[in-house]
Amino acid sequence: MKAATWLPVLRQLSDGAPISGQELGDSIGVTRAAIWQRVAYLKSLGVSIVANDRGYQVQGPVYLPNADVIGTSVEVPVRFEPEVSSTNTLVLESRQPQCLLTLYQNQGRGRRGRQWVAAPGAALMLSVGQWMSQGIQEIQGLSVEIGVSICHYLNGLGVDVGLKWPNDLWIGDAKLAGILVEVQGDQDQTFVVVGFGLNLQQPVAVDSRVSAIDQVFDRPWTDTDSVGLIESVLSSIRNYPATPAKTRIARYRAVSVLEGRMVNVNGSSTGFTGVAQGIDEFGRLCVLNENGVHSVSAGDVSVRPESCNI
């Protein structure tokens, strides 16, 4: 079903008030039977909709980003597509500075090839693309710095979130958000794409514990919040070349959820255990064990704190 078909129904339900199938149909010019089909499809995408004697009602907050509002406050063009394959894929292919927001990704990607799916209106999903005048080798720590900046921004909103290196955001030991940074370029310039997915309401967990903004926020997420988050990403990209390594390392330590914890480092062929001790100037995780300090690259390994199943 095309997004143009289901989006008007979600918009009508987004305030959380119950509305009858007849009223829904009248408001968008379709039959009650067509409304039933659209509601069934939204439920198949994960939207929590209940039906009772008062009509249909969405359970939990629904966030529908307004690209026009957001676009007036950020430095790159902003566009909204209700359903896409993958925001990162589309921005990466465009090689144009922009922010692409969506409600649903049917081929959403996370780190290490994992699938990333969220129900329309239940998550903030976007990708930001921007050019840098540095080569890929000069920005090796950028991915971690972006996660650090987003953590500091959310901390400023009152969300006690930390960074699980390299770029997952946790509240306690529960995942709140994920970041996927992809780059294309050479020794002279790099196109950076930052994909971001933030749980705004509790999703159905399959293989991990998760957290959501509605569990820690006393108000709904707004476009103003999205602007601040997008600006934190763009600021990271803009300021990274001039930020001293010691500053980035200190900023990381302030939000790291791994600092001082025993971690298991699992690579493609070998693994080891040690204590996480910050990052180096290249954004690599420093892990200390009886054999010394190991510098761990994000692309090579998966890191998990001991006794944690996430």
**What kind of fold does domain 3-58 have according to CATH?**
Arc Repressor Mutant, subunit A (1.10.10)
- pLDDT at residue 309, rounded to an integer: 45
- pLDDT at residue 177, rounded to an integer: 94
- pLDDT at residue 310, rounded to an integer: 44
CATH superfamily of 67-254: Bira Bifunctional Protein; Domain 2 (3.30.930.10)
Tell me: pLDDT of 259 over 70.
yes
Where are the CATH 2.30.30.100 domain residues in the chain?
A: 258-305
Q: Where are the alpha helices (DSSP H) in the chain?
A: 3-13, 21-28, 32-44, 67-71, 87-94, 142-156, 223-239, 245-255
117 residue type, one letter: V
Beta partners for 52? 55
pLDDT band at 266 (very low <50, low <70, confident <90, very high): confident
Where are the CATH 3.30.930.10 domain residues in the chain?
A: 67-254
Where are the CATH 1.10.10.10 domain residues in the chain?
A: 3-58
> How much helix, strand and coil, in percent to the nearest 5, is found in the chain?
35, 30, 35
Cis peptide bond prior to 220, omega within 30° of 0: no
- Worst-scoring range by mean pLDDT, 70-74, 136-140, 146-150, 234-238? 136-140
d(CA 38, CA 50): 13
Place of tokens 């990704």: 105
Tell me: pLDDT of 221 over 80.
yes
Which stretch, 53-57, 58-62, 200-204, has highest mean pLDDT? 53-57
Beta strands (DSSP E) in 28-134 are 49-52, 55-58, 78-84, 98-105, 123-132
Which stretch, 185-189, 196-200, 202-206, has highest mean pLDDT? 196-200
The average confidence (pLDDT) of the chain is 89
Q: What is the dihedral of CA 113, 119, 122, 126, to 10 degrees?
A: 40
Tens digit of pLDDT for each residue in 66-111?
999 999 999 999 999 999 999 999 999 999 999 999 999 987 555 4
Tell me: pLDDT of 196 over 90.
yes
Tens digit of pLDDT for each residue in 151-172?
999 999 999 999 999 989 999 8
Q: Which CATH class is domain 258-305?
A: mainly beta
- Worst-scoring range by mean pLDDT, 3-12, 18-27, 289-298? 289-298
Q: Which two tokens stand for residue 52?
A: 């009772």
Q: Select the more confidently predicted residue: 60 or 149.
A: 149
32 residue type, one letter: R
